[in-house]
Each structure stands twice: as structure tokens, then as C-alpha cells.
Amino acid sequence: MSDPSDALASAKAAADRIVKLKRLNACLTPIKELRKSLAVQASTAHPSGVLYGMPVAVKDNICTLEYTTSCGSKILEGYRSPYEATAVAKLKAAGALIAGKTNCDEFGMGSSTEHSAYGRSFHPFDKTRVPGGSSGGSAALVASGAVPAALGSETGGSVRQPASLCGVVGIKPTYGRVSRYGIVAYASSLDQAGPFATTVADTALLLEAMWGHDPCDSTSIPSEPEPVLARLEEGVAGLRVGVVEELTDVEGIQPAVRAAVDSARNLFEKAGAEVDTVSVPSVEYGLSAYYIIAPAEASSNLARYDGVRYGLRAPAAEVATMNALTREAGFGAEVKRRIMLGTYALSAGYYDAYYGQAQRVRTLIIRDFSRAYERFDVLLAPTSPTTAFELGAKTSDPLAMYLSDVCTIPTNLTGATAISVPAGLDAAGLPIGVQVLAPALGEAVLLRAARSLEAGFAFTARPTLGEAA
């Protein structure tokens, strides 16, 4: 696509599809604003860019110049950032059109996109189910065909888990590979942006367009990323694949999900890979460590929402009262829960017992994975223990909701990379995902392995626009 009229046609088609899929509540941008912005972008996009004319939706916790950034929260309702995220700027430089902001769990805190201040999102295959979270809006728009690609963010699995539940590809890059500049902070040592697409190749294309060193992010890796697109079709002959025992046999795993992992193992073996099981014993403590570390960092990061500098301000005669009333009115129940958990973990007398101990467990997990990668090039596991669950099924039980991320959290704690690939449908017609994991900076071998699985599974199931609308 190099003709401006083609880009305009692509922009209009994307807006029309998003309108038709309004029932999903996956896009938060008003349609008039979306149409106007897409038309302007299409007329000024770079024709030579590798993403020229491609509409890419962006999660609402990632700053854009074209649209407001609310993080799915009332405390930032109507907030317009004076700058844009580096990842977004790079996508635009490659010719992409930013197709609105997608619904998400408030500040990325959730696994179902039911904790948004602007209403829950719905699964594109089944309106009674969740699309996963916290990047559920992005996954739903890609799965339904509204946009060919979208950008999400991960703190504990918020790209891979909704990708699995919605039947699309979603990758969590190595921590520092994609700049965090312009991504509203939840837990700074864990946050990382990642793309959604319907194919591994498109996911790799977006990743190559937006990754690389950024002087605006002190955690950005200075070395040049290894090209990944050129190596996608090299196959997996001779590749060493380890099936993670603790994640494959996690409590509550759905039989169909377990069967999908077995199928993935068989596909790898048929393609010439050497497959064996591997134990990573400390992963059983990953969930507990994560839900101390992430809330602790959140309690620090979210202290900036005080009603003084930006966002919501509740009227009050005194500053301290105004701070309290603003947070009471602006934050939702799940955000308040995690702030309180984190504040408690960091409080005097409990810091070493909770936060310090969680960081030591994190080190154990990193070491266990390092030992696993001495034997194997990539690892294989479920992405989520179950397929998409019913709306409201876990909102009253936070622990049950947290368990949705038990298979994804370890990769965030280690700072490594992983990708979810569609592996079929369960008996209810809901997508199943399996994930491939690789060590830090291992995106080239990761995507090669993912492409092999994609070819083997040949997943093509998609809801029609009429069924999803």
C-alpha cells in the first residue's frame, strides 16, 4: 500500500468495523473523533513505511497525541498527554495509523477487562465471556477483525493472556526491548509493551518497527535488536524444547488446555525439535511474589494522582482532605485494593518480611529459568489455565482472578520474553493458547518456534462481524 487513497480507504474501513463492533465496548474513542483523526493520519502517513496504512489500536494506558489517555480510570478521565509514547511514535514513523484507544482494566490491574471505569469489554466469540485482561480491548478488536493489529502492555501477562483467550498472537518482549516512555506506570520493574496480531509474522513486523534503544527510558537496552522477520521460516529442526512441568500441571488447568500443550509438543517433535520435560521448581511461588512486588510498586507510582497536578480533583478546603477525596472518587475498587496491599508490604516492620522476601523469591525464579535455558533453547507451557470464563465469574473472588495469570507471571518476573500462539478451540468453541518462552533477548528463536507452531496448528477461527456485533 503506497497510494494515499489506499491509506484513506483502510482508515475508513477500520472506523466502520469498530462502529459495527460497538457492542464489544473494546474501543473508548468516540467514533467522530476516531474518523477525523484517522483521516488526518492517513493523509500524512509515511508511504515508505513498512506499516503504511495499517490501522493499529492502542491500549488506553499508553500515551498518544491524537486521543485522550485515561488508563480506564475516572481519575484521568479526559486527560490528554502533551507527549506520545516512544512505541507509538515509532509505529507512526513506520506508517501505521493509530486507530483509537482500547478499553482495559484500570491502570492495567485485572485479568478480564471488567475493572474499567468505562464498562467491561466482551469476548468477540461469546458475549457472555470475558476477553481477558488487562489488554482485553486490544485483543478483542484484533480477534474480531476490526483492526489487523493492536498495542497492549504487560505487567503480569496482560498481552499473552487476552491473546490466548481471544485466539490471536500476543508477545511480551524482553524487558527493555521496547521503550516504556509514555506507558503510564503500574509496576515499573515489570511493565513492558507488546503487540497483538493474527499472525506471528505481523507480530514480528510490529515488534521490529517499535523496539530499540530510547534515551528517554533509562531501562532501555542499548544494544541493537537482532532481526526476527528474516528468520521466521528457518524451522525448528534440532531446537531443544522444554515443557515446563509446574506450569503444565498447574492446579485448575482445563483438560482442553492440557491437551493443547501435548499437541504443541507433538508438533515440535514432528518438525524436528528435541522435546523433553523440565522442572522450574520456584515458579510455584511466582504468583505470591508478583502480588507483593507489583502492588508495592503501584502504591508508589499511583501516589502521583493527588488532585494537584493533573486529572480529577475533588473539592475540599484542605489539601490532605482533597487528596483523600480525589483518590476515593477516582480510583476503582481493584486499584484501591492493590494500593493498600502494596502500601502494607512497604510499611515499617513489614518491608523485609514481604517485599524483601518477594524480591529474593524473584531471584530464585530467575536462577531456575537460567538453569532451564542451559538445557533448552525455548520452553513450552499453557498461556492461561482455562479458556475465557463467564462475565462476573471471578470479580467477587480476587484470588481466583489472580490465578488466571499463574502461567504468564514468571516471564514478567524474570524480564525474559514469551509469546502466545492460538492452538485451537475447546468444546464450547472458545480459543485456547499455548505459550513459547525464551531467555532475555531471545526473540529471534522465540518467534521462529512460534511460527512453527502456528503452521502446525493452522488456527483460522474468527467470529464474523455480524456474530460479534
Annotated active-site residue 299? The verdict is no
Sign of the C-alpha dihedral computed for residues 134, 52, 419 and 373 taken in this order: negative
Grouping H, G, I as helix, E, B as strand and the rest as coil, residue 139 is helix
Q: How far apart are the two ends of the chain, measured CA to CA in Å? A: 28
Distance CA 241, CA 239 (A): 6
All 3 cell numbers of residue 186? 503500574
Annotated active-site residue 336? The verdict is no
Catalytic residue, candidates 121, 134, 384, 452: 134
Catalytic residue, candidates 10, 59, 92, 135: 59
Q: Where are the alpha helices (DSSP H) in 244-356?
A: 245-248, 255-270, 286-301, 319-330, 333-346
Grouping H, G, I as helix, E, B as strand and the rest as coil, residue 200 is helix
Grouping H, G, I as helix, E, B as strand and the rest as coil, residue 274 is strand
Distance CA 450, CA 29 (A): 33
Task: Identify the residue whose cell numbers are 505470591.
Answer: 288
Grouping H, G, I as helix, E, B as strand and the rest as coil, residue 91 is helix
All 3 cell numbers of residue 390? 463467564
Please report how the helices 31-44 and 4-20 are oriented relative to each other, as an axis angle in degrees rounded to 10.
160
Distance CA 454, CA 354 (A): 41
Q: Smallest Cα–Cα separation from 447: which of 217, 174, 82, 223?
A: 174
Annotated active-site residue 158? The verdict is yes
In the chain, the amino acid numbered 320 is A
How many CA atoms does the CB half-sphere of 173 hold within 13 Å?
30
Residues 6+ apart with CB under 8 A from 212: 90, 177, 179, 224, 225
Helix or strand (DSSP H, E) at 453: helix 443-457
All 3 cell numbers of residue 278? 523440565
Cα angle vertex 170, ends 398, 270, to 5°?
A: 115
Catalytic residue, candidates 37, 112, 135, 158: 158
Helix or strand (DSSP H, E) at 241: strand 240-244
Distance CA 358, CA 298 (A): 15
Query: Which residues are marked as active site?
Result: 59, 134, 158
